[in-house]
A = this chain, B = another copy of it.
Amino acid sequence: MEFKRSPCPVANTLELIGDKWTLLVIRDLLRGKRTYGELLASPERIPTNLLAERLKRLERAGLLTSVAYQERPVRRAYALTPGGEALGDVLQALARWGEAHIPGTQRLA
């Protein structure tokens, strides 16, 4: 396999998901959000063009799948694949660090 920069599993994972918005989209899908509108409505207010781009990128990477649940206009529902769901461990580690080291943070209800 050709790697962009190194064979390091951290570096290659970060090439796929190493930006803030991608990890927040994965957080929301892990919490059961399914539609574009639900993902847009999170308190961090991801810009709509970034959400569309991140969803396409995650689907190409095999971390989520989408199905059309409505035609005209087409609306799609998104779900993590088993590989995407396995990122739950990364999200848990991020949440635990934030709770321990950034005063006042609290997990979303």
- Contacting residue for A5 out of B1, B12, B43, B107, CB 8 A: B43
Asked if B101 and A8 sit within 8 Å, CB to CB, the answer is no
Query: What is the CB-to-nearest-CB distance from A42 to chain B, in angstroms, rounded to a whole number?
Result: 8
A73 beta carbon closer than 8 Å to chain B? no
For residue A22, which residue of chain B has the nearest CB? B18
Asked if A44 and B6 sit within 8 Å, CB to CB, the answer is yes
Query: What is the CB-to-nearest-CB distance from A17 to chain B, in angstroms, rounded to a whole number?
Result: 9
Query: What is the CB-to-nearest-CB distance from A60 to chain B, in angstroms, rounded to a whole number?
Result: 14
A100: which B residues are within 8 A, CB to CB?
86
Asked if A94 and B13 sit within 8 Å, CB to CB, the answer is yes
Q: Which residues of A are interface residues toward B (Cβ below 8 A)?
A: 1, 3, 5-16, 18-20, 23-24, 27, 42-45, 83, 86-87, 89-108
